């Protein structure tokens, strides 16, 4: 269940990659095992076939050779001159007769020896024949009596017998595989009068022992366990079977001290010799191992190539989805950006197209809403401002009226001039936002008017950092505060003389403005300082406008320093004309 959830929660890209990997690699793995199994079978069958074929071929070659030699030996047995020699006692046969008979046999033998299947023939006859020697064609029969091979030939009672014969030369000993046959006295078939041996060079036999595998060991041995020759010397010690076997025409598993082997053994024709072939399991499995390793390498390479291709393919497929997902995440963060990629007509392409259309629609809607909100703010701002203006105008007109009653025409003139300048500034360009410089100027004009009213008892001082002068603030923000400082601060204290200071600075990326007076200050015991700073209506008006303008609530802070008076301060984001233009633009 966890796995299902884990899979379900897996990224689309991973799913695609896993899917592709499964589609590509799983069939490969299946193919590998199926192919390897089949190839393994083919190889095993092939090996079996090759080994058996090889064995059969060697067996057939040797059987034909030996059979042919047996036929030759039979021809010798029935040879007329040979029979003459065998039928006569040496004492009864004069030397010329011996010479005639034996020389005929020499010629006959020389013709037979042209046969390349054996090395030479040796006859063993009665020692008394004049033509017998020790290393010659005809030899003394007495020399055979006590030899192993001679005993075997005698024991065979006339049948062809394959034995190992040694010939001692002056400086060496030659070993031959010899076909030995008893030669019978033609007058008495119970009287073995001699022996003929057809001697085959062991190297010739050894060359016939073809191996189908370098680790194969082939040898010939007699049925009584005498080794004739083998394909190698080293293998004799550990690959030779204790005795010859007849494995019924196939390789069978045999267990030797040195390990497990496959062995086949069979009699060579009608001889007393066995052809033995032993092959180690390692030889058979080495080939399979080699094939398996080759196949594994190939399949691994193919898998790696597949994986290398799967990644970019899966990435190309999921890239647009990921881009779309990122864009949608940005939407949650309030960033409405379209996905600007090459349009496609597939499902993802249509999804992207719909997303872009949706984002476009949302953006238009939000712009419309923004406009509506802005218009609403502006209207609200104007309404608030419009609430301020009549109040100011009423007070001023009241002051003019008061001056007129006292016939202070010069003052009336100056106030009217100032009022004119005041409204000129307010109405200038019809904008709701003015620079701090203009706003301060507005307060100064206001102070000119108020100075007429309060006979110059109140002074306005400014202390503004240069970089603050271009910052924009809603118009008629400072004038009400200055007005409050006059009416609720300075004029309340005895003498009604005081100084109002406008301070402006930029701190921590915000515009800090403070209006200070040295009036009576305010009591903040009950926390409602506004009661002591005028009607409070003006303060709220300012706070609302600031909030509308900057899009964030802005409180006016009041406090009384120890030295007395009141400081009204606030800080707002820095907005300059460029931004304003940009925003409007």
Of 130, 305, 325, 362, the residue at the interface with other proteins (CB under 8 A) is 130
Query: Cα dihedral sign for 368, 373, 376, 382?
Result: negative
Count the site residues for other proteins by CB under 8 A: 36
Task: Give the one residue of 21, 137, 245, 336 binding other proteins; rule: CB under 8 A.
Answer: 137
User: Of these, 44, 99, 567, 574, which contacts other proteins (CB under 8 A)?
Assistant: 99
- Part in contact with other proteins (CB under 8 A); list of ranges 69-77, 78-86, 124-132, 241-249: 124-132
Query: Which of these ranges, 104-112, 220-228, 266-274, 504-512, lies near other proteins under the rule CB under 8 A?
Result: 104-112
Q: Which is nearer to other proteins, 38 or 398 (CB)?
A: 38
Q: Does 115 bind other proteins (CB under 8 A)?
A: no
Site string for other proteins, 8-37 (x = CB under 8 A): -----------------------xx-xxx-
The residue from 8, 116, 169, 255 that contacts other proteins (CB under 8 A) is: 169
Per-residue contact flags (x/-) with other proteins for residues 402 to 421, judged by CB under 8 A: --------------------
Among 118, 138, 261, 549, binds other proteins (CB under 8 A): 138
In terms of Cα–Cα distance, which of 544, 486, 549 is closest to 520? 486
Which helix (H) or strand (E) element contains residue 333? none
Q: Tell me whether residue 131 or residue 481 sits nearer to other proteins (CB atom).
A: 131
Q: How far apart are CA 464 and CA 437, in angstroms?
A: 9
**CA angle 35-40-46, nearest 5°?**
125
Burial 498-525 (b: 16+ CB within 10 A, else e): bebbbbbeeeeeebbbbbbbbbbbbeee
Q: How far is the CB of 297 from other proteins (least distance, A)?
A: 7
Among 8, 116, 134, 173, binds other proteins (CB under 8 A): 134
Q: Does 306 bind other proteins (CB under 8 A)?
A: no
State how far the Cα of 27 lies from the Cα of 47, in Å rounded to an integer: 29
What the block records as the tokens of 476 is: 């008629």
Minimal distance in Å, beta carbon 111 to other proteins?
8
Measured from the CB atom, the residue of 132 and 231 that comes closer to other proteins is 132
Q: Does 168 bind other proteins (CB under 8 A)?
A: no
Binding other proteins (rule: CB under 8 A), the pick from 133, 225, 249, 561 is 133
Tokens linked to 177? 């595989």
Whole-Å CA distances, 183 to 67, 71, 245:
18, 14, 31
Q: Which is nearer to other proteins, 27 or 343 (CB)?
A: 27
Closest contact distance (angstroms) between CB of 145 and other proteins is 18
Q: Which is nearer to other proteins, 15 or 292 (CB)?
A: 292
Angle (nearest 5°) at CA 57 between 221 and 60: 65
Task: Quote the DSSP letter at residue 434.
Answer: E
Nearest distance, CB of residue 35 and other proteins, angstroms = 4
CB of 27 to other proteins, least distance (A): 9
The encoded tokens of residue 151 equal: 């005993």
* Tokens coding 391: 């109040």
**354 is an interface residue for other proteins by CB under 8 A:** no
Asked whether the beta carbons of 177 and 205 are under 8 A apart, the reply is yes
Decide if residue 514 touches other proteins (CB under 8 A). no
Among 9, 91, 92, 171, binds other proteins (CB under 8 A): 171
Task: Note whether 297 binds other proteins by CB under 8 A.
Answer: yes
Residue 394 CB contacts under 8 Å (≥ 6 apart), including other chains: none
Q: Which of 23, 26, 75, 107 binds other proteins (CB under 8 A)?
A: 107
Helix (H) / strand (E) element for 425: namely helix 409-427
CA angle at 576 for the pair 504 and 549, rounded to the nearest 5°: 85
Residues 33-62 touching other proteins, rule: CB under 8 A, are 34-36, 38-39, 42
Tell me, letter by letter, the H, E, C secondary structure of 490-501.
HCCCCCCCEEEE
Q: At what angle do helices 95-112 and 80-87 cross, to 10 degrees?
A: 140
Which residue is it, tokens 């390479």?
301
Instruction: Name the nearest CA neighbour of 199 among 225, 179, 229.
Output: 179
User: DSSP assignment, residue 230?
Assistant: E
Closer Cβ to other proteins, 215 or 291, answer by number:
291
Q: Which is nearer to other proteins, 40 or 441 (CB)?
A: 40
The pair of structure tokens assigned to 52 is: 């058996």
Q: Nearest CA to 534 among 549, 545, 519, 548?
A: 519
Return the number of the residue (138 or 570) whose C-beta is nearest other proteins.
138
Cβ nearer to other proteins, comparing 309 with 537: 309
Structural tokens at position 78: 């029935």
CB 190 within 8 Å of CB 179: no
Tokens 């872009």: give the residue.
Answer: 356
Residue of 521, 515, 507 lying closest to 468 (CA atoms): 507
* Binding test (CB under 8 A) with other proteins, winner from 11, 57, 136, 350: 136
Cβ-based burial of 210 (10 A; exposed 0-12, middle 13-18, buried ≥19): middle
Closer CB to other proteins, residue 29 or residue 580?
A: 29
Instruction: Pick between residue 76 and residue 485 the one whose CB is nearest to other proteins.
Output: 76
Structure tokens at 442: 């507005």
By CB under 8 A, which span of 91-99, 154-162, 201-209, 466-474 interacts with other proteins? 91-99
For residue 55, the minimal CB distance to other proteins (Å) is: 26
The least CB distance from residue 193 to other proteins, in Å, is 17
Q: How many CB atoms lie under 10 A from the CB of residue 307? A: 14
In the bound complex, what is the minimum distance in angstroms from residue 38's beta carbon to other proteins? 5
Q: Which residues bind other proteins (CB under 8 A)?
A: 31-32, 34-36, 38-39, 42, 95-97, 99-100, 103, 107, 110-111, 114, 130-139, 169-171, 291, 294-295, 297-298
């Amino acid at each position: 269940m966890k796995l299902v959830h884990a899979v379900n929660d897996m990224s689309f890209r991973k799913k695609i990659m896993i899917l592709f990997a499964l589609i590509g690699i799983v069939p490969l793995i299946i193919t590998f095992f199926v192919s390897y199994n089949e190839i393994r079978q083919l190889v095993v069958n092939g090996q079996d076939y090759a080994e058996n074929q090889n064995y059969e071929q060697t067996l057939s070659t040797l059987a034909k050779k030996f059979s042919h030699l047996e036929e030759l030996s039979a021809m010798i047995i029935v040879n007329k001159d040979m029979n003459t020699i065998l039928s006569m006692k040496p004492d009864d046969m004069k030397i010329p007769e011996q010479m005639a008979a034996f020389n005929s046999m020499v010629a006959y033998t020389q013709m037979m020896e042209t046969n390349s299947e054996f090395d030479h023939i040796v006859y063993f006859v009665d020692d008394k024949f004049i033509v017998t020697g020790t290393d010659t064609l005809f030899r003394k029969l007495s020399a055979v009596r006590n030899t192993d091979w001679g005993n075997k030939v005698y024991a065979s009672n006339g049948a062809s017998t394959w034995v190992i014969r040694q010939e001692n030369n002056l400086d060496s000993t030659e070993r031959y595989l010899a076909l030995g046959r008893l030669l019978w006295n033609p007058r008495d078939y119970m009287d073995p009068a001699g022996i003929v041996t057809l001697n085959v060079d062991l190297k010739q036999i050894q060359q016939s022992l073809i191996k189908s595998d370098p680790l194969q060991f082939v040898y010939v041995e007699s049925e009584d366990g005498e080794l004739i020759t083998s394909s190698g010397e080293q293998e004799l010690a550990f690959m030779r079977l204790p005795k010859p076997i007849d494995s019924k025409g196939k390789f069978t598993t045999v267990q030797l001290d040195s390990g497990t082997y496959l062995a086949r053994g069979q009699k060579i024709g009608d001889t007393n010799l066995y052809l033995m072939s032993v092959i180690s399991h390692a030889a058979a499995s080495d080939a399979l191992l080699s094939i398996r390793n080759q196949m594994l390498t190939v399949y691994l390479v193919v898998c790696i190539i597949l994986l290398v291709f799967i990644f970019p393919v899966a990435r190309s497929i999921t890239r647009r989805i990921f881009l779309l997902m990122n864009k949608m995440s940005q939407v949650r963060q309030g960033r409405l950006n379209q996905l600007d990629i090459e349009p496609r007509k597939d499902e993802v392409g249509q999804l992207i197209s719909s997303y872009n259309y949706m984002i476009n629609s949302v953006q238009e809607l939000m712009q419309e809403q923004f406009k509506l909100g802005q218009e609403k703010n502006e209207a609200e701002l104007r309404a608030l401002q419009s609430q301020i203006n009549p109040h100011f105008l009423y007070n001023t007109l009241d002051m003019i009226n008061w001056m007129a009653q006292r016939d202070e025409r010069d003052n009336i003139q100056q106030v009217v001039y100032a009022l004119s300048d005041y409204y000129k500034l307010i109405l200038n360009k019809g904008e709701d936002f003015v620079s701090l410089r203009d706003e301060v100027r507005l307060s100064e004009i206001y102070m000119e008017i108020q100075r007429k009213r309060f006979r110059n008892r109140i002074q306005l001082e400014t202390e503004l950092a240069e970089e603050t002068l271009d910052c924009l603030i809603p118009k008629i923000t400072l004038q009400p505060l200055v007005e409050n400082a006059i009416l609720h601060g300075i004029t309340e204290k005895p003498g009604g003389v005081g100084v109002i200071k406008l301070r402006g600075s930029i701190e921590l990326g915000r515009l800090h403005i403070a209006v200070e007076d040295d009036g009576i200050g305010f009591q903040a015991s009950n926390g409602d300082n506004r009661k002591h700073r005028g009607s409070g209506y003006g303060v709220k008006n300012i706070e609302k406008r600031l909030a509308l303008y900057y899009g964030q609530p802005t409180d006016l802070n009041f406090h009384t320093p120890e030295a007395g008076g009141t400081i009204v301060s606030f800080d707002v984001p820095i907005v300059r004309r460029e931004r304003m233009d940009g925003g409007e633009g």
